[in-house]
Amino acid sequence: MRKITANVYMTLDGRGEFPKYPGSERPSEDVSALFRHMWYDRFDDVTTVVMGRRSFLGHQRTWSEKAVRPGESKWLLAYRRYLDRVEKVCLSHRLKTTTWENSRILHGDLARILTKLKREEGGNILVEGGPAVVRECLRRNLADDYWFFVMPVVYGKGPRYWGPMDAQCTLDLLETKPGEDKEILLHYAAIR
C-alpha cells in the first residue's frame, strides 16, 4: 500500500512561513543534511507530490527546471529535475489545465482524494503544501506520517497549522534530526 507523508514546514509557533534566521539564506554548494534527508533520499521512493493550487503554481514558477538561474548549484538543479519528472497532483476547483508536465488537477474532499491516490499504482505520496492543505491533513489526521521541519523562530504571523481538531491526535515519534542552522526535523507516524 502506498504511504502518505505530509511535509510540514513551520516556525516554533506553528506558522506556515519561511522567515529569515541565521544561516537560512546562506548559499551552499552542497545540499544540507536535512534537505537531503527530506528530499534527495526520497526521490526514488516518492512518486506523487500533492499540492494546493497556490503552492503548486508557486512551485512551478520557482522550482521547475525552466526557472533555473545562472550559476545555481547542481543539487538545486537535481531537485528541479525531480519536481519536473515526479507525478504532481494539484488540488483546485478553479484551475482547469496546467502547463507543468506530469501533473493533473483533482478536486473534492481531501480524504477521498488521498484514498483514491493510495489505491493507484505507484510509490509513496507526499503532501507538500501549502499550509491550507497540510492543516487539513493534521486536523483530520489523514497522513500515515508527518515530517515537521521546525525553524528556530517564533514568528507571530502567517497561517497557523494548529487549531481545532476533529479528535485528539497522538503520534509516534520515529526520529529527530537537528539541522545545521538550528532547525529540527521531527518525524512522527500516525497511530491508527
Ligand X SMILES: NC(=O)c1ccc[n+]([C@@H]2O[C@H](COP(=O)([O-])OP(=O)(O)OC[C@H]3O[C@@H](n4cnc5c(N)ncnc54)[C@H](OP(=O)(O)O)[C@@H]3O)[C@@H](O)[C@H]2O)c1
Give the interface with ligand X as residue ranges (CB under 6 A).
9, 16-18, 51-55, 58, 91-95, 107-108, 110, 129-133, 159
Distance (Å, rounded) from C-alpha 149 to C-alpha 185?
Answer: 5
Minimum CB distance to ligand X, residue 58 (Å): 5
Output 20 or 29, the one with its CB closest to ligand X: 20
CB closer to ligand X, 70 vs 112: 112
Dihedral in degrees, nearest 10, Cα atoms 58, 63, 65, 70: 120
> In whole angstroms, how close is the CB of 69 to ligand X at the nearest point?
18
User: Do 150 and 10 contact (CB within 8 A), yes or no?
Assistant: yes
**Least distance from ligand X to the Cβ atom of residue 171, Å:** 18
Nearest to ligand X of 85, 107 (CB atom): 107
Q: How far is 41 from 75, CA to CA, in rounded Å?
A: 12
Distance separating alpha carbons of residues 43 and 86, to the nearest angstrom = 9
Diameter of the chain measured on Cα atoms: 49
Smallest distance, ligand X to C-beta of residue 140, A: 11
Whether 149 contacts 8, CB under 8 Å: yes
CB distance 126 to 5 below 8 Å: yes
Nearer to ligand X, 108 or 122 (CB): 108
Q: Using an 8 Å Cβ cutoff, are 162 and 138 in contact?
A: yes
Closer residue to ligand X, CB minimum distance, 87 or 148: 148
* Smallest gap from residue 130 Cβ to ligand X (A): 2
